[in-house]
Structure 1
Amino acid sequence: MPRWLPILLFAAVMTALPLIPGIPPFWIVLLDNIGLAALVAMGLVLLTGVGGLTSFGQAAFCGFGAYTTAYITTVYGISPWLALPASLVVAGIAAVLLGLMTVRLSGHYLPLGTIAWGIALYYLFSKLDFLGRNDGISRVPPLSIGPIDMYDPHTIYFVIWAMVLISAVLTMNLLDSRTGRAIRALRRGHVAAEAFGVQTARAKLLVFIYAAVLAGLSGWLYAHFQRNVNPTPFGPQAGIEYLFIAVVGGAGYVWGGVLGAAIVIILKEVLQGYLPLLFGGQGQLEIIVFGILLVVLLQLAPGGVWPWLANLVPLKFRRAVTGNADGLPARERVGGSTTAPLLKVERARKQFGGVVAVNDVSFEVNAAEIVALIGPNGAGKSTTFNLITGILTTTGGRIEVHGKPVDNTPPQEVVKLGIARTFQHVKLVPDMTVLENVAIGAHLRGRSGAITSMLRFDRGDEAKLLAEAARQIERVGLGAEIDQLAGSLSLGQQRIVEIARALCADPELLLLDEPAAGLRHMEKQRLAALLRQLKDSGMSVLLVEHDMGFVMDLADRIVVLDFGTRIAEGTPDAIKTNPDVIKAYLGALA
């Protein structure tokens, strides 16, 4: 099915609804409100469902958009259409200021932070004299196109839903891009994303601003729809409701935001209309029943209603990869002497309080060489990997790549020097396809930004990135799984996907953390053959592995660690007979 066909069907349905003969005006107003809420929910889909940043304060950004246009149009008599950019800019600037503080928070501090500034801004709106305090701003002019003034909910309906449709297309375009993959990778933590060059703080701020701008757009429409702006719709309760809408619809799905808005708003109206008739209008029973029904709904569809419905109609789309990877620019080589070591670790030390995880470890990796780092569990192997790739900072010592010190260098800079890695515990995004996960590895080899992606001007660059990802997937032998979700693969296959992702970075040194774990015998043989091919092509490999048969047949040199200290280094034959290694790791001789 073509990508644009569902969009055209949705546009046709929403255009036809208000044209149905005899449709009550109340339902048009309801559809207008659904559209306004859907815009905010779409931003939350990107912020919370995709980016993993929970926000209860989106209603405040609606307030920025609404108050900006209300003030400008009533005080200065400016056209509402000219006030639209101002509303979006004010919401965006507020997001930058709040986002610089908020996105640095993690865990439960992040949602608590959004609640705090959401409440603060709500009370700020009600205390400023030029905004009318609690009474707000009235007599806001309606939208108009030529001689048509949109006083009627029927007329503004088309503007609201045109904005919803445009926003949905722009959001989907953004997600289907290099920038979108970086944003989607945030939900599974920042470590893997940063290891391939993603500036996670910048990506979080980007998605925070984008969600705020969509909320500001909703506020702009709301002001000219209601023609009166006061603080009530922009308080913390509204912020909580917007998050409910995104979660009920499906927090990771753009159209889930629209569906969630329809479900929640219609459910509220139905309950408010019928429960007082059933129970004599005593108390606000609709709030209680509304909460119970939402809990039941989330029990039945914990991932949201949209993915639940999608599972009932299992349509699978195969993504055509039509680009040519030959046009993708190779990573700029650092260069250096061919005789000097590619990687030099000199008395590297890492201490966690009183625990010494890596104790003055030294070794080298030369060009086109396979070096294995072995040792018992807890020997400091993965910690050494993290020191080399910048995930951890060293307590002492020196680490050099091509003679350039990289100890305490951020991971985003280390990967630029030609170092890519896999992880001991697989770090893939399970609800992204194999192709999309692997393409994250080529993040630094692309150039298109967020605006270019939203406007679909990135297709040439994107085709090259996906073609390179497809090439590396075929290279590691997983071509048949290219469109499968990464979370549906076996652990062994996921480890191979991580290798393909690392190869997409075009590295000179490949760091593999237990790559053979979970692989069957034939799969290990194919992996060993691949690593030998990489070595023959000039790539170096540093690997951590517990399968001694795999290591001894593959490695040129082996470095052995025990309790964070290097106890031996040499060829596989020398390591096999080293008494210290036998005692610490391989086991006593019979």
Structure 2
Amino acid sequence: MRLRPAGLAAAGIALLAWTALAGSEFTVTLLDYIGLYALVALGLVLLTGIGGLTSFGQAAFVGLGAYATAWLTTAPLPGWLAWTGGSPWAGLLLGLLITGGVAWVLGTVSLRLSGHYLPLGTIAWGLSLYFLFGTLGFLGGYTGLAGVPPLSLGGVALAGSRQLFWVIWAVLLAAMLLVGNLLDSREGRAIRALRGGMVMAESMGVDTARSRIAIFIIAALLAGLSGWLYAHMQRFVNPTPFGLPIGIEYLFMAVVGGAGHVWGALLGAGVVTLLKQWLQDILPRLLGESGNFETVVFGILLVVVLQRAREGLWPALAAFARRVLPLAAARRPIDAAAAPLARRAPPARGDVVLEARGLTRRFGGLVANDGVSLAVRAGEVLALIGPNGAGKSTLFNLLSGVDDPSSGRVVFRGRDMTGRPSRESAALGLGRTFQHVRLLPQMNVLDNIAIGAHLRGRPGLLAGLCGAALRLDRAAERRLLAEAARQARRVGLGDDLHAPAGALPLGRQRMLEIARALCADPCLLLLDEPAAGLRHLEKRALAQVLAGLRDEGMAILLVEHDMDFVMGLADRVVVLEFGRKIAEGPPERVQNDPRVLEAYLGGVE
């Protein structure tokens, strides 16, 4: 008999409930804190582990949620808030509104930063909010606000740690379920695509700015929710728990547990909280004096954990469980009977699909492309060749919208796309692959391919997030995954749907990229060195796939160095040298052109 993960989760919840009923008051209080910390760490799993955005300022958002409800429930209220009656539940609403609004403002500014500037920016506003809490007189300054009332349900006050335990853990488990649902959806794949880089995600049609601000706000709201619960558990609020050191600790919890995994937030919060508590109890006895020795030991242990388990403890624990327990494989069924997704009207064979008009791209004094013009027609394969440094990849980026030309125009399906972002070209039917394969190696093949269909389902941001979290999108999700499976079978990956994409050999990874591009229902494919690194049989299989797409009326523009591959497949060839077009025509004529021989071989001889 195979055990299912859902059964193990149910057993864990039952054990947790038994501990709350039979454990000591100290044990239950410790579990309460673990639940509160895990709620913040869950937001960091979404923001940092999955979205790739490092934040040290989440403790400040916890403070916003805590101070909002503390002020509302303890201070004399202005007339416009009299209707709330100082209710803690009104404090929850106020806290979430303030936290969401501040997160939107800070995210709009901070997320323009990249590299190490982003975490430095989060440190800056985290410190600013911390000192703001201590400076504002109506928030009690550094003394804080006392007399926060307990939560109440149905007239019953939840004043003790044992009573609040059920609320805290119910909120945490609900949040974990909703975040897990979100990640297992179209919007979730768009969020995961951020880890593959902005260029890849935008080329698949993902609005990366929108996805980044969305997960930033969600993470802030989870932190604000934790702050609300904290305020009514402690019944007192001051700035100390919302400073930068606590923000760093929250990030440690997410990273130690497994920053890319929902359950890693709970594991990390539990390990860090219990380890700190044990060290505080044990070290003074061993050393014979008190002090902050636990911080030193904790730091050393953290380094060791990160060296031994770089992805965190949860993946290591899950791998161990798969070895020793008869766990059933978690595979989503593919609905072969699902209705196919709607397709766009293809251009007529022979119509010009993409046109470059005098494209020039300068990088300072270097001219990478110099007045290049070409046209790609439906139902043909146009090959772009040239020696290394000829400007092929730069031209590819101009055509796909990754870079803007210094002069000239790009026209796609009759529309001037010059200077437009690549996701707009993707929306019109442009699909592409990359010279260096860009996949999400930890995700399976099916989900990687399904990223390509992002624009084939278009609810608004709020509707998409809420629908995914509440699993209201299952019908659309079944159709989308069925389409991804069809494209996988089309390129020969039908037997690898549930395999991690990073475990595939290079040739099959390149086929996966093509399947992902096809999932977007393109009318034009831009393929950047698709045969690089492939063996002979893999190249032959790739050529058969591309020839089949051409016969279906697809326009294909490919950059390739393998001349045998190009000459056996292309209908026309364009040759670049030092950024300029030196030849264009059928393969037979181009390969005998003296200028081409000069460029490749140094002379006609």
TM over 0.5, shorter chain: yes
- 1:87 deviation in Å? 1.5
Partner SS, residue 372 of structure 1: strand
- 1:326 deviation in Å? 3.7
Partners of 1:14 and 1:161 within 8 A in 2: no
- 1:321 corresponds in structure 2 to 334
Letter in 1 for 2:379: A
Tell me how far apart the structure 2 counterparts of residues 10 and 172 of structure 1 sit (CA, whole Å).
Answer: 17
Tell me how far apart the structure 1 counterparts of residues 53 and 8 of structure 2 sit (CA, whole Å).
Answer: 28
- 2:21 corresponds in structure 1 to 19
Distance 1:325 1:376, change over 3 A: farther
Write out aligned runs for 1:148-187 (5 A): 148-187=156-195
Partners of 2:104 and 2:217 within 8 A in 1: yes
Partners of 2:349 and 2:379 within 8 A in 1: no
- 2:491 corresponds in structure 1 to 476
Partner SS, residue 378 of structure 2: coil
The one-character-per-residue Cα deviations of 1:228-278 (angstroms, maximum 9, x if unpaired) are 011000011110000011111011111101000011111111111121122
Letter in 2 for 1:415: A
Write out aligned runs for 1:128-527 (5 A): 128-314=136-322, 315=327, 316-322=329-335, 324=337, 326-331=339-344, 340-448=351-459, 449-527=464-542
- 2:73 corresponds in structure 1 to 73
The one-character-per-residue Cα deviations of 1:98-121 (angstroms, maximum 9, x if unpaired) are 100111110000000000000010
Partner SS, residue 313 of structure 1: helix
Partner SS, residue 133 of structure 1: coil
- 1:177 deviation in Å? 0.7
Partners of 1:42 and 1:246 within 8 A in 2: yes
Tell me how far apart the structure 2 counterparts of residues 495 and 13 of structure 1 sit (CA, whole Å).
Answer: 46
Tell me how far apart the structure 2 counterparts of residues 59 and 458 of structure 1 sit (CA, whole Å).
Answer: 33
Deviates more, 1:79-88 or 1:409-418: 79-88
Tell me how far apart the structure 1 counterparts of residues 97 and 476 of structure 2 sit (CA, whole Å).
Answer: 29
- 1:223 deviation in Å? 0.4
Partner SS, residue 561 of structure 1: strand
Distance 1:559 1:512, change over 3 A: same
- 1:26 deviation in Å? 0.7
- 1:171 deviation in Å? 0.5
Partner SS, residue 352 of structure 2: coil
Letter in 2 for 1:59: A
Distance 1:586 1:7, change over 3 A: farther
Letter in 2 for 1:484: A
- 1:322 deviation in Å? 1.5
1:41 aligns with 2:52: no
Tell me how far apart the structure 2 counterparts of residues 142 and 464 of structure 1 sit (CA, whole Å).
Answer: 47
Partners of 1:43 and 1:212 within 8 A in 2: yes
The one-character-per-residue Cα deviations of 1:271-293 (angstroms, maximum 9, x if unpaired) are 11121122222432122112112
Tell me how far apart the structure 2 counterparts of residues 399 and 589 of structure 1 sit (CA, whole Å).
Answer: 34
Tell me how far apart the structure 1 counterparts of residues 601 and 228 of structure 2 sit (CA, whole Å).
Answer: 69
Letter in 1 for 2:18: A
Partners of 1:323 and 1:466 within 8 A in 2: no
Tell me how far apart the structure 2 counterparts of residues 282 and 262 of structure 1 sit (CA, whole Å).
Answer: 24
Unpaired runs of at least 5, structure 1: none
- 1:586 deviation in Å? 5.5
Partner SS, residue 122 of structure 2: helix
Tell me how far apart the structure 2 counterparts of residues 127 and 82 of structure 1 sit (CA, whole Å).
Answer: 25
Partners of 1:374 and 1:561 within 8 A in 2: yes
Letter in 2 for 1:5: G
Tell me how far apart the structure 1 counterparts of residues 217 and 237 of structure 2 sit (CA, whole Å).
Answer: 23
Partners of 1:323 and 1:463 within 8 A in 2: no
- 1:403 deviation in Å? 2.4
Deviates more, 1:291-300 or 1:366-375: 291-300
- 2:80 corresponds in structure 1 to none
- 1:53 corresponds in structure 2 to 53
Letter in 2 for 1:490: P
Distance 1:10 1:377, change over 3 A: same
Equivalenced residue count is 586
Letter in 2 for 1:412: R
The one-character-per-residue Cα deviations of 1:198-235 (angstroms, maximum 9, x if unpaired) are 11011000000000000001000000100001100001
Tell me how far apart the structure 2 counterparts of residues 103 and 305 of structure 1 sit (CA, whole Å).
Answer: 29
Tell me how far apart the structure 1 counterparts of residues 217 and 382 of structure 2 sit (CA, whole Å).
Answer: 45
Report the identity percentage.
Answer: 56
- 1:542 corresponds in structure 2 to 557
- 2:100 corresponds in structure 1 to 92
Tell me how far apart the structure 1 counterparts of residues 339 and 554 of structure 2 sit (CA, whole Å).
Answer: 19
